[in-house]
Amino acid sequence: MEFIGRSIKKGEGHEGIGEAMVGEERISMIPTAPEVYWSALVNGQNIECHIESNAILLDVIRDEVGALGVKRGCDMGTCGCCTVLIDGEPKLSCLTLAGEVRAKEITTVEGLADGHHLHPIQDMFAKHGGSQCGFCTPGFLLVSSALLEKNNSPTDAEIKGAIEGNLCRCTGYQPIVDSIQAAAELMRTDAESVDSTTAKADPHPGFSGENEGGHTA
Amino acid sequence: MRTPPFNLHFPTTVEEAIDISQKLASEGRSSDWIAGGTDLLPNYKWHLNPKGDVISLSSVAGLGEVSMHRIGAMARLSSLVANASDALVHTDATISPVHPIIAKAAGKVASILIRNNATLGGNICLDTRCYWFNQSEDWRSSIDWCHKCDCGTGADCRVIPNQNELCVATYQADIAPTLMVLGASIHLAGPQGQRSMLLSEFFQLDGMTRNVLQQGELVTHVSLPKDVEQWQGDYLKLSVRESWDFPEVGIAAAWKINPAGELIDLRVASTALESIPKLHSEAVAKVMQQGWQGQKSILEVAELVRQSIKPVKNTYLAPAYRRKMAKVLTKRILSQLE
Amino acid sequence: MAEDDEQMKGYRQQPGKLPFRKPGSGGSKQFSDLRDLSYIPQSEGGDRPQPRGLNRHDHLLTSSSIGRRTPLIDSRWKVTGQAHYGDDVRLRGELIGKILRSPHHYAKIRSIDTSAAEALSGVECVLTGKNHTNAFGVLPVTKDEHALAVEKVRHVGDLVASVAAIDEATALQALQLIKVDYEILEPVHDMKKAIEDTENPIHDRGKYHIGEANIQKRVFQEFGNIAGVKDAAASSSVKWSFAGVNHGFTEPHAAVAHWDPSGRLTLYTPQQVPHYVHRSLADVLEIPMHQINVHRTFVGGGFGGKSDPFPHEMCAAIMARQTGKPVRITFDREEVFWTNRGRHPSKLEMVVHADASGRICGIETDALIDGGSFASFGHVTTYYNGVLHTAPYEIGSFHYTGARVWTNKPASGAMRGHGAVNSRCAVESAIDDVCEQLGVDPIAFRLANLLPPNSTTITGFRVTSIGMRECLERVREASGWDEKFRKMPLGRGIGIGCGFFISGSGLPIHWDPNKFPHATVHLKIDMDGGVTVHTGAADIGQGSDTVVGQSVAEVLGLPLEMIRVKSRDSDTSPVDLGSYSSRVTFMNANAAISAAMKIREELLAATADITGADPKRLIIGDRRIYDKKDPAVGVSYLEALHKAQEERGALVSSGAYRTPPMGSTHKGAAAGLAPAYSFSAYVAEVEVDAETGQTKVIEAWAAHDCGRALNPLAVEGQIIGSCHMGMGQVLSEEMVYGRTGNLQNPNFLEYKIPSIHEMPKVTPIIVESNDPEGPFGAKEAGEGPLLPILPAVVNAVYDAIGIRVDELPITPDRMYKRIEKKVRKLDVDSPLDLPNPTLQTSQLHDDLLIRAAAHAERDLARKLDVNRAPYHNGAIFGLKPEIAPEEQMDGWVISVLPSDEYIASPRPAGSAWKHVERRHREVE
């Protein structure tokens, strides 16, 4: 088929993009697919843009939507770093055509927290060492939040089944399972996470009058 | 990684899908179907035989049915798995609308994230695999390509050198052998209308031809015989890891036992050993003719299965080993029939 | 006393009354917490027991942070998706850089025609190696890398040219248009072949070139009573083959380069060692270092794989300079494998001898390691394969030959457990074999052969704290060893493995300028009271920002939330050598403590000034400094701070750490030398399916002596994560090179990192030996924990099925081959009929138990007695411990050059010594 040269998207002054002239000879076209209109509800926000018709969701989310929390680890479906929720179901964005999820609801890691109140799963990954280097963390958070949405008292085996598509090289997975269990418990009790913007410690505290063991004033 | 550019089409009916394909073909444009995309997109990212047009089946109505006797081509694997993404474990076969052997095999495919996208049709039609082929374009250029994706060079096969007639890439999908042992039929729709056949007749022995699908033809569903509930069996998969990996050996077996507790019918099929999955009818018939003699018969069947397959060195584990393991797995499945 | 009280009266605070609000104050927790005495050592009036004696930092403990399970201070960035890694740095007007890579294993570049690529609209820069010929490399002695290939490509995937264009599609298209004319050269893939002379060695080392071969580095070391091995009562000799493995970090390499309007370069890169990149950029770009700011982004895992300066970082910088626009280069997963720097594929011959008294009278190791096509850290790796298995046992003699060769593969380099992993696996497996021959329990054997604390190893390493004994005892207990070992049915087994590792390198890679500290930490505190910590330590997920912050918080008695660690930019961070050789906690926390101590002194002085109290009686508590006998006499942290700031403003301090002088003087003595060593012992339980050869680790018990767990949460994370990574190497991970020499599996589907389903339950056990020089007693916990899992699994496999593994990974097909062989050898019908190994304990076993008990007492005494005499390796063989063995025994060898006799019939790596360096040939 004939591909049209893409329109200028970045920078300026690239007249005749897609063509190269060597002497008088036109030697090449940059093959790109035609652009199509795309929209989706990403983290509650309606996103509209133009994408190449063959665009992969991961590329659209990172480069067009700007949700850089969605990570590219292997780009081939074997690490789970690029996981997003599509209508609540975890999917590999690296193996999803953007065109197939038009008008759907997409949740990325950026959409998990409620303002400065972290989702319990975020809070517990931080607290229980579920995240070391953090690169696989967004993917794990999304698959486990989807699990807990449906089942807030999963067994370890159920957790393992839910996160089997995600690769973590740092933690050995065990702290991740612990984190998910802790989050499940939080969700069962409807405990609310602390707003991180609340006032931190006073550098000028008073003396409460209490005294440590045995010493007399 | 960027796929080569392609036009993506979204038909809403099977007829429209076929029409689009036909129209493209009439313009000299070739196209691929895309179902779940978990096989096609990695291959496209590696520039493995990409086409200029891709027809998405995701919006086609009526291909997603899941029931005991009929499963649509677009049924997601996660929906076939009893303990799908909701992490609810149903071990009771009566809850599952899918035969437990199929559900088990579906549950063994790759990872839960893959299964959330992957479809039954896609899994059945999985492209054959080879470690000289499933590589990036740069990588393949470093070995001067191979027969399966020769980029116009007429390159030889890298597994069986000095020939470019036969492709021995390996069929590594999990579900087909389970459908075969349950006597499933596959239903196709194409420009010439609909046709169906036993799944065992669907595959064609060549890593490139793969199956009988013609230009413009697609899989609509598989159907299972009326008596399928009376068949029991199992699927065993050998792979290095329990997640992500394709089978290095996969054996399915199903059998029917009469009320007297006697074995009256048996089917064994294998996958991941050759370019197509294989129903071992002859081997089983040969042993069954002599009357079932428990362990002795089991060993005979297992040995005959081993003899009838010839894996080549193009997957992760050594072919000689995979061949022997076909015997071990067959023996293990059938041990229920001692 | 009465006088003191009188003086302090004016500063006595009314209990429960808030002090007058000062600028910068306000916030939560308005009263100071009591010190938690369970975190304060008994010697300082607290309740924390000190079974391993005192520590020089005891008096600094305030119970604020050290020893508490502390979430990483950057974890909220990570869980919200706001942690920005390499590819997440997006600058306005950026260009996308892509790299053209070699399709050949080995070829000369005759010419490169870039005209068509340059003419392509949207392409802003096409770069080749010819104008950028300055070499760089992580080690100053082996700078052999370039931004792009200069005259030769050395492996498939080697960098040939790079392009910067307005988008990825254009850049990729431009790569297609670059025409390269290659002259193909004969590649070498086999490491044994690489030892031979050849027409075209992969590199030319000039006068230092060894023969005309592909030998990058060779090492010969002989120590001890070499002749003693003839008395061996048991010997184990195994020829091992280890596949190369890759770090498998989840974040692919990425770099963004930007030259700002002032003409300075900022390079954003996920790096473990920003400082070496800094130096290399200066070399390549020919600009002074002060013109460069290296910004370390969040690092999505490193494990050694992001600790070389990389060509793509140079390319990004050069292209950004030429185009005047930011350039971003991000790798595909496959490119990560081309960059590699993973663990060396190795052929190892390991012989371990034990005498009739159950002492290790000799270890002979020959390690031929495949360095791929560049030097990287290889110089060091070649030493480490030898010297890092000379402890924790006392040994009678050590004979090591090592050679690292170039082959046309992606470069090997440093990976978690650098150089120590494979030989550790081999030596621990051999010890298991020797124990079997002697009829002794392998844990009992180890317990009776350990070096004591404060001793010297056979190669002259100074060992300070050693918690090896406790590690062994605790895993034996936790795993139920005595009920399981040699007692389980066929297919089920249990095994033990030990290890030790450096806690920082005694000699830094770059030792210029002279006496430069290994680590420096700066503190700045202004009137708001928050502490800004500047450190160059690279947090790669291990939690170094956290541990440095914790150290400062602890000394100053502040909650961690008042500490902000700035470690990203070389412009503001003091020079740090980077996150490698497990040096960060030891060196940076020490530097941080010393910086905080200076501030502490000033705060104490200011408090004394205000209160008139005796400074000796003042202690730091939670945000308050007060008289330890009378807490009502005291001031808030902010009051003291403001007092100390009078006339000068912000308090600043700098603390540095340098290793003490130590070690021997022989050539190579510095390799493996460290200010402290960590120790670990693991037990693994496995299941081997005799019919399929599949091995599964069921459970692991992992005891690691990290001196003191500053952050137990992080230490446990390191232990469990190490088990995962090590288990991958044992069971499934392998860089597979096929018959054409191509890497067959440069992707995560075929490079098989264990999934959650393969991961056993791991019980981490933290052992705290209280290192005298470590920060609060701490040592490393990042690499040592990886070592023992390999031999533990390998030995468990033997227990399960009686087969000594000699090749890693133990893929099911490899295992099955050995099972088949054994079935044939023993002439049994089926693998299920194979016999199980059993243990008939000998008299020696009982003797060893007695010796171990005596040694346990010896060790505790040596730990607690500050006036202890020296202890040199060799005492167990009857030598005087206080005197160096070479000074008291004639036959005690220290040699780093092979004899003619050895060269006449060398082992494989040893045969590297058959060649003569060019400079010596020229002399002839």
Q: Is residue C435 part of a domain?
A: yes
Report CB contact under 8 Å: B136, C104. no
Report CB contact under 8 Å: A78, C27. no
Examine the domain organization and report whether C633 and C736 are in the same domain.
Answer: no
* pLDDT value of residue C813: 98
Q: CATH number of the domain at A29-111, please?
A: 3.10.20.30
Nearest CA in chain B to C100: B138
Element (H, E) at C895: strand C893-895
Report DSSP letters for B13-31, one per residue. SHHHHHHHHHHHHHTT--E
Angstrom distance (rounded) from CA C754 to CA C787: 17
* pLDDT value of residue B179: 98
* pLDDT value of residue A14: 38
With a CB cutoff of 8 Å and minimum separation 6, the contacts of B255 are B231, B232, B233, B263, B265, B266, B267, B337
Q: Is residue C767 part of a domain?
A: yes
Nearest CA in chain A to C720: A172
Q: Can you read off the two tokens belonging to residue C197?
A: 């002379």
* In chain B, domain spans: 1-60, 233-337
Nearest CA in chain C to A24: C119
C-alpha closest to that of C383 among C428, C414, C427, C429: C414
C247 vs A contacts (CB less than 8 Å): 169
What total of structural domains would you count in chain C? 3
Q: Is the pLDDT of residue A21 over 60?
A: no
Share of chain C above pLDDT 70, in %: 99
How big is the A-B interface in CB pairs under 8 Å?
113
Examine the domain organization and report whether C743 and C642 are in the same domain.
Answer: no
Binning pLDDT at 50, 70 and 90, where does residue C3 land? very low
pLDDT tens digits for range B41-66: 999 999 999 999 999 999 999 999 99
* pLDDT value of residue A197: 94
Strands (E), B169-262: 185-190, 193-198, 218-223, 231-238, 249-257
Q: For the purposes of burial, counting CB atoms within 10 Å of the CB of C918, is it exposed (0-12), middle (13-18) or buried (19 or more)? A: middle
Least CB–CB distance from A53: residue in B7, B37, B114: B7
* In chain A, domain spans: 29-111, 112-189
Binning pLDDT at 50, 70 and 90, where does residue A27 land? very low
Give, in words, the CATH class of B233-337.
alpha beta
Q: Is the pLDDT of residue A213 over 70?
A: no
Which one of A38, A60, A100 would you mutate to disrupt binding with B, by most B Cβ within 10 Å of its Cβ?
A100
C152 backbone φψ class: left, alpha, beta (φ>0; ψ -120 to 50): beta
Report CB contact under 8 Å: A83, B5. no
Angstrom distance (rounded) from CA C431 to CA C201: 38
Least CB–CB distance from B316: residue in C157, C172, C750: C750
Q: Can you read off the two tokens belonging to residue C820?
A: 């088949």
CATH of the domain at C547: 3.30.365.10
Nearest CA distance, A145 vs chain C (angstrom): 12
Mean pLDDT of the C146-157 span: 97
B41 vs C contacts (CB less than 8 Å): none
Selected residues 39-58 of chain B with any CB under 8 Å from a CB in chain A:
41-42, 45, 52-54, 56, 58
Average pLDDT, chain C: 96
Least CB–CB distance from A211: residue in C631, C747, C749: C631
Share of chain A above pLDDT 70, in %: 83
* pLDDT value of residue C617: 93
Q: Is the pLDDT of residue C704 over 50?
A: yes
Mean pLDDT of the B255-279 span: 96
Mean pLDDT of the B72-93 span: 65
Binning pLDDT at 50, 70 and 90, where does residue B95 land? low
Element (H, E) at C919: helix C918-923
Mean pLDDT of the C292-321 span: 98
Least CB–CB distance from C18: residue in A126, A132, A206: A206
Report CB contact under 8 Å: A53, B56. no
* pLDDT value of residue A4: 33
Binning pLDDT at 50, 70 and 90, where does residue A31 land? confident
* pLDDT value of residue B183: 98
Angstrom distance (rounded) from CA A155 to CA B33: 39
Is B1-60 a CATH 3.30.43.10 domain?
A: yes
Q: Is the pLDDT of residue C924 over 60?
A: no
Examine the domain organization and report whether C708 and C765 are in the same domain.
Answer: yes
pLDDT tens digits for range A97-151: 999 999 999 999 999 999 999 999 999 999 999 999 999 999 999 999 999 999 9
* pLDDT value of residue C624: 96
- Residue A145 in contact with partner chain C when CB distance is under 8 A: no
Q: Which residues span the domain enclosing C41?
A: 2-13+23-50+509-657
Q: Can you read off the two tokens belonging to residue B273?
A: 């050993």
Other Cβ atoms less than 10 A from the Cβ of C79: the count is: 31
**Residue B217 Cα to chain centre, angstroms:** 17
* pLDDT value of residue A9: 37
Q: Is the pLDDT of residue C40 over 80?
A: yes
Q: Is residue C233 part of a domain?
A: no
Residues C130, C133, C137, C141, CA torsion sign:
positive
pLDDT tens digits for range B239-255: 999 999 999 999 999 99
* pLDDT value of residue A16: 40
Least CB–CB distance from C762: residue in A135, A172, A212: A172
Average pLDDT, chain B: 94
* pLDDT value of residue C8: 54
Nearest CA in chain B to A72: B1
pLDDT tens digits for range A87-99: 999 999 999 999 9
Examine the domain organization and report whether C398 and C385 are in the same domain.
Answer: yes
Examine the domain organization and report whether C148 and C292 are in the same domain.
Answer: yes
Nearest CA distance, C450 vs chain A (angstrom): 30
pLDDT tens digits for range C710-719: 999 999 999 9
Binning pLDDT at 50, 70 and 90, where does residue A210 land? confident
Report CB contact under 8 Å: A75, B8. no
B117 vs A contacts (CB less than 8 Å): 91-92, 95-96
Cβ pair C420, C382 in contact under 8 A:
no
How big is the B-C interface in CB pairs under 8 Å?
76
Report CB contact under 8 Å: A169, C721. yes
Is A112-189 a CATH 1.10.150.120 domain?
A: yes
Q: Is the pLDDT of residue C636 over 50?
A: yes
Say which residue, B81 or C626, is predicted with more confidence. C626
Q: How many residues does chain A have?
A: 217
Nearest CA distance, B251 vs chain C (angstrom): 14
Angstrom distance (rounded) from CA C596 to CA C464: 25
How far are the Cα atoms of A59, A139, C751, C882 from residue B83, in angstroms, in the given order? 31, 21, 28, 67
Q: Is the pLDDT of residue C685 over 70?
A: yes
pLDDT tens digits for range C414-444: 999 999 999 999 999 999 999 999 999 999 9
Examine the domain organization and report whether C466 and C489 are in the same domain.
Answer: yes
* pLDDT value of residue C880: 97
Q: For the purposes of burial, counting CB atoms within 10 Å of the CB of B213, is it exposed (0-12), middle (13-18) or buried (19 or more)? A: middle
pLDDT tens digits for range C122-136: 999 999 999 999 999
Q: Is the pLDDT of residue C395 over 70?
A: yes
Mean pLDDT of the C462-488 span: 98
Binning pLDDT at 50, 70 and 90, where does residue B84 land? very low
Nearest CA distance, A79 vs chain B (angstrom): 9
* pLDDT value of residue C133: 96
Share of chain B above pLDDT 70, in %: 96
Binning pLDDT at 50, 70 and 90, where does residue C195 land? very high
Mean pLDDT of the A166-195 span: 94
Rg (CA), chain C: 29
**Residue C257 Cα to chain centre, angstroms:** 28
* pLDDT value of residue A29: 56
Of A17-21, B99-103, C487-491, the least confident: A17-21
pTM of the predicted protein model:
0.96
Say which residue, A215 or C539, is predicted with more confidence. C539
Report CB contact under 8 Å: B240, C169. no
Angstrom distance (rounded) from CA C511 to CA C504: 14
Q: Is residue C907 part of a domain?
A: no
Examine the domain organization and report whether C492 and C515 are in the same domain.
Answer: no
* pLDDT value of residue A214: 46
A77 vs B contacts (CB less than 8 Å): 38, 41-42, 110, 113-114
- Residue B245 in contact with partner chain C when CB distance is under 8 A: yes
Angstrom distance (rounded) from CA C823 to CA C806: 18
Q: Can you read off the two tokens belonging to residue C828?
A: 């049994």
* pLDDT value of residue B87: 32
- Residue A60 in contact with partner chain B when CB distance is under 8 A: no
Mean pLDDT of the C317-326 span: 98
Binning pLDDT at 50, 70 and 90, where does residue C329 land? very high
